[in-house]
Amino acid sequence: MKDHLPDRLDLYAAAEAGRVIRGRIPLASLTRVIPLTSSVASELEVILEFGRDQEGTRYLTGSIRGMLELQCQRCLESMDYPLNVKFRLGLVQNPDDVQYLTDRFEPLIVAAEPALLAEVISDEVLLALPIAPLHEGMVNCREVTADYHASADAQRDNPFAVLEQLKQKQ
């Protein structure tokens, strides 16, 4: 078992060898995840287990754990989002082979070897993120909006006032 994550890895060879790799990956190296976070200062703990099952399917199972800082879509403030992802991927070389995978595995199409591990990890993190991150309960968000009161002087003009003036001229 290795204690660091390589940048690239031959996934099929790792599955044949039954390798287990664990390590940490900086959030800053997951380029597709960066735009969805408020900060890239954290690291994610990753465990990857490769193998081959009784049917001969090469697979990759693993887990990703860490804390992400996302923007709450209700109050627009930063919030901590605990990430704990577990996945089971069946390795296939082309999209036609997906039909041969059992329901135990999600397909991972390996187009080129060696594969970039950061891309595989990015895919799993993106799938685990909520569509609209929110604080747990509105109590955490009310502090930002509690001080807002619309002023009485801020009466909105009627958007049809111009039409009313035109009607009166005729």
- What tens digit of pLDDT does each residue of 6-25 get? 889 999 899 999 999 999 99
- Asked whether residue 2 carries a pLDDT value surpassing 80, the answer given is no
Task: Name the β-bridge partners of 25.
Answer: 44
What SS3 class is residue 162?
Answer: helix
**Cβ pair 65, 42 in contact under 8 A:** no
In 86-160, alpha helices (H): 117-128, 139-145
20-26 and 43-52 strand pairing: antiparallel
> How far is residue 113's CA from residue 106's CA, in Å, rounded to a whole number?
19
Instruction: Determine which of 21-25, 102-106, 142-146, 163-167 has the lowest per-residue pLDDT on average.
Output: 142-146
4-13, 46-55, 79-88: which range is least confident on average? 4-13
In the structure, what pLDDT confidence band is assigned to residue 169 with cuts at 50, 70 and 90?
Answer: confident
Mean pLDDT, residues 97-109: 85
pLDDT digits (tens, 9 = 90+) for 115-145: 899 999 999 999 999 999 988 877 667 565 5
Give the pLDDT score at 152.
57
- The tokens for 109 are 């199409």
Q: How confident is the model at residue 98 (pLDDT cuts 50, 70, 90)?
A: confident
Task: Give the mean pLDDT of 3-8.
Answer: 80
Classify residue 169 by its DSSP letter.
H
Select the more confidently predicted residue: 61 or 138: 61
The pLDDT mean for the chain works out to 85
Tokens of 162: 């111009």
Count of Cβ atoms closer than 10 Å to residue 85 Cβ: 17
